[in-house]
Structure 1
Amino acid sequence: MAEPRILIVRLSSLGDVVHTLPAVHALRAAFPAAEIDWLVEARWAPLLAGNPDLNAVVKISTRSWRDVCATVKRLRRRRYDLAVDFQGLYKSALLARVAGAAQRIGFAPGAARERGAAVFYTQRVEPRARHVVEQNLELAAAAGARAGPCCFPIQLAADAQLRVRQQLAAHGVQKYFVLSPGGGWRSKCWPAERYGELYRRLVALPALADCRGVVNAGPGERDLAEAVQRAAGAEGPVWFPLELPELAALVAGAEFLVSGDSGPLHLAVALGVPVVGLYGPTDPARNGPFSAADIVVRKARPDETSYRRGKHYSAAMLAISVEDVVAAVERRLGLRL
């Protein structure tokens, strides 16, 4: 019997795409001869380049009606047997539907990000696990995948690695750690001024005396990176613009990374880089680093787990002190018990 043609729908964003990789790997292990394609926003497609679990990466720009129509035509020509929507939005569920797959698997209304999206599925899964990686694996299991090792097959682009090495060399940086102060919504971020103070405290540690910091800032976040640099003072962390392939290359070479709940944090975990995560309104049991070795700093009260997309720093994030984070870095690197 021929193995199925499978369409993966996970359009965005960085951390969510990373969290879907183990589920797709499980599907490939279960269906080694299947044709597995991934529908993703063009911005995030470089993260999937060279992925051995995929036959094709189908790029889409959901902000362009013309591109959506052209992409749907391409999808329908592929004649998929199965579509698995890991996103749970109206737009992702509708794309799975119009792609033409007879079987469509997604989260049940209570677990989908937009409850009504579930109406477009032929099979709805109510996840029992807490972490999103494990929830995605439950969707894959509904499609026939079996339990196995959790794998994040991210391929680093050689040209991106070269560009990062050149940038680091131009700044006189060899060993380094990464501070990533962004996070999409301000309410789950930690202030730039505290990252600057954290930098001063970290480079004063004897074990990190030969390290320099690199600030990661996404599109439109240059002001944030510069604020960290100003707060750090003279000989502060360096910053240079990064596209997604360069970000992966930079993070892969870091000694460790400090960040709030963000895409770069989850990328670092997937690449095996030590992480200290700063958490407030989001629950680390669901969205935390998917590694038992990594450390989460959190002081939020139960009622502060709100997932509220605020424009201001939340009280839960402001409760985290620089001393808390320095101690967590020391524990993660084995510098203290």
Structure 2
Amino acid sequence: MTGPARRGVTGPARRGEELPGGAHPDAEPDHGERDTSDVLVLRALGLGDAVAGIAALRGLRRAFPGRRLVLAAPRVTGGWLRDLGIVDEVLPSSGLEPLDRHGESISDRDGNGDSGAGGGESHVAVNLHGRGPQSHRLLTATNPARLIAFGCTEAGHDGPAWDQEEHEVDRWCRLVRSAGGDCSPEDLRLDPPGERSSDVVLHPGAASGARRWPVDRWVTVARALARTGRPVAVTGSAGEAGLCEEVAAAAPEVRSLAGGLDLPGLADLVARAGLLLSGDTGVAHLATAYGTPSVVLFGPIPPSWWGPAIDPHLHTVLWHAEEPGDPHADTIDPALEAVTVDEVLSAAEAQLSR
């Protein structure tokens, strides 16, 4: 199946520090002296997860105005979100490692003199990481006054029901709305850093073999795009340098930037690009947030779960399956393998001619 992923309503770009100051009608009432204790949010995942969580984080800003938003996340992605004004502080974390050992980074500012996630009793903990029980227990161990999370019988928490078929962005927005934080996929938008260029960015890598389109097909695509006269850049991590150099060897006009960009540099490149082509990975979510036209090759995870959540006219998703596959498999997923060079080039041409 080929076509745009989801529909959204176009609206102005917004950053964290530019959000409306008013809280949702169901948010905590202001009785004259606003509570300034922290909101601790767990989302210790990768780049795509970080971007997909921006809308929910903005909803938390609205639910708890005046409170410091502390994000437990990897240092690099968390620091990028902090620098954008989406959160106030980063608690460096990875996966499901304990949070209490970093307790000194979470200040209890309710005036009782206590400090640390395990010492104070008034901070709010929010689980944007998963449905538990491990992630629920990690946050419960910080001794919060309140836990906002999906329901989990094993962790003894009563919350909204998890919906496996729900889009990732909608899922976390729904959770935050249940706590009084108004938000929607429109809150994914980030301000572009400048004028858009004519550059085409290719990102051939992915975390698992199941999500890596064959390199020889990327080479053919790179060669065809180079013939259009547009600058073509290939991005990837330092560990993907060999893959990216192989793709870049398709034509003299194609250059590899693998390992040469930090996260802000990668975000800037994608934000200014005329077109991004990639698999279902983190850079695709950057394109969604910045409104960069994209062609995204899906498999094994369906775009109804992780595809572009706004601006369907800007994003073409290519998906050839009816059910999800194993995203952690070592070999390419059949749905992704079914995507052809011709349809990728056709989709790219259609986006470039807009």
TM-score, with length taken from structure 2? 0.77
Residue number among 166, 183, 186 corresponding to 2:206 in the alignment: 183
The question of 1:281 aligning with 2:314 is answered: no
**In structure 1, what is the equivalent of residue 102 of structure 2?**
71
**In structure 2, what is the equivalent of residue 52 of structure 1?**
85
Q: Which has the higher contact order (CA 8 A, sep 6+)?
A: 2
SS in 2 for 1:220: helix
How far apart are residue 95 of structure 1 and its match?
A: 2.4
For structure 1, the 5+ residue unaligned runs are 110-117, 162-173
Distance in 1, Cα, partners of 2:66 & 2:297: 41
Distance in 1, Cα, partners of 2:211 & 2:252: 28
Residue identity matched to 1:299 = H
Contact preservation (8 Å) 2:96, 2:138: no
SS in 2 for 1:37: strand
- Describe the shift of the 1:30–1:106 C-alpha distance in structure 2 as closer, same or farther (beyond 3 A): closer
SS in 2 for 1:237: strand
Deviates more, 1:124-133 or 1:261-270: 124-133
Contact preservation (8 Å) 1:14, 1:44: yes
How far apart are residue 80 of structure 1 and its match?
A: 4.3
- Describe the shift of the 1:148–1:131 C-alpha distance in structure 2 as closer, same or farther (beyond 3 A): closer
SS in 2 for 1:124: coil
Distance in 1, Cα, partners of 2:84 & 2:181: 18
How far apart are residue 150 of structure 1 and its match?
A: 2.1
* Deviation digits for residues 248-289 of structure 1 (CA, Å, limit 9, x no counterpart): 122112111011110111112111211111012111001112
- Describe the shift of the 1:306–1:201 C-alpha distance in structure 2 as closer, same or farther (beyond 3 A): same
SS in 1 for 2:187: coil
Residue number among 7, 18, 30 corresponding to 2:51 in the alignment: 18
Contact preservation (8 Å) 2:127, 2:148: yes
Distance in 2, Cα, partners of 1:15 & 1:323: 27
How far apart are residue 225 of structure 1 and its match?
A: 0.8
- Describe the shift of the 1:43–1:56 C-alpha distance in structure 2 as closer, same or farther (beyond 3 A): closer
**In structure 2, what is the equivalent of residue 237 of structure 1?**
255
More helix per residue: 1 or 2? 1
- Describe the shift of the 1:316–1:62 C-alpha distance in structure 2 as closer, same or farther (beyond 3 A): closer
- Describe the shift of the 1:57–1:264 C-alpha distance in structure 2 as closer, same or farther (beyond 3 A): same
How far apart are residue 228 of structure 1 and its match?
A: 1.2
Contact preservation (8 Å) 1:104, 1:123: no
Deviates more, 1:284-293 or 1:82-91: 82-91
Contact preservation (8 Å) 2:70, 2:88: yes
Aligned length: 303
**In structure 1, what is the equivalent of residue 309 of structure 2?**
290
Distance in 2, Cα, partners of 1:147 & 1:62: 25
Give the share of equivalent positions with the same residue, in percent: 27
Residue identity matched to 1:18 = V
Residue identity matched to 2:124 = L
Residue identity matched to 2:224 = R
How far apart are residue 153 of structure 1 and its match?
A: 6.2
For structure 2, the 5+ residue unaligned runs are 1-30, 105-115
RMSD over aligned CA atoms reads 2.7
* Deviation digits for residues 21-48 of structure 1 (CA, Å, limit 9, x no counterpart): 1011112123322332211122322321
Distance in 2, Cα, partners of 1:78 & 1:190: 49
- Describe the shift of the 1:196–1:149 C-alpha distance in structure 2 as closer, same or farther (beyond 3 A): closer
SS in 1 for 2:45: coil
* Deviation digits for residues 113-169 of structure 1 (CA, Å, limit 9, x no counterpart): xxxxx633633222457211010101101221124572236588x9xx9xxxxxxxx
**In structure 2, what is the equivalent of residue 96 of structure 1?**
139
* Deviation digits for residues 197-256 of structure 1 (CA, Å, limit 9, x no counterpart): 101112333xxx2x21111112411111122123x1443333242221211122112111
Contact preservation (8 Å) 1:106, 1:121: no
TM-score, with length taken from structure 1? 0.80
SS in 1 for 2:61: helix
Distance in 1, Cα, partners of 2:320 & 2:66: 47
* Deviation digits for residues 68-121 of structure 1 (CA, Å, limit 9, x no counterpart): 553135433454432111111555333211111132122345xxxxxxxx6336
Residue number among 225, 238, 243 corresponding to 1:202 in the alignment: 225
The question of 1:84 aligning with 2:126 is answered: yes
How far apart are residue 61 of structure 1 and its match?
A: 5.1
How far apart are residue 51 of structure 1 and its match?
A: 3.5
The question of 1:150 aligning with 2:225 is answered: no
Residue identity matched to 1:204 = R
**In structure 2, what is the equivalent of residue 216 of structure 1?**
235
Residue identity matched to 2:291 = G
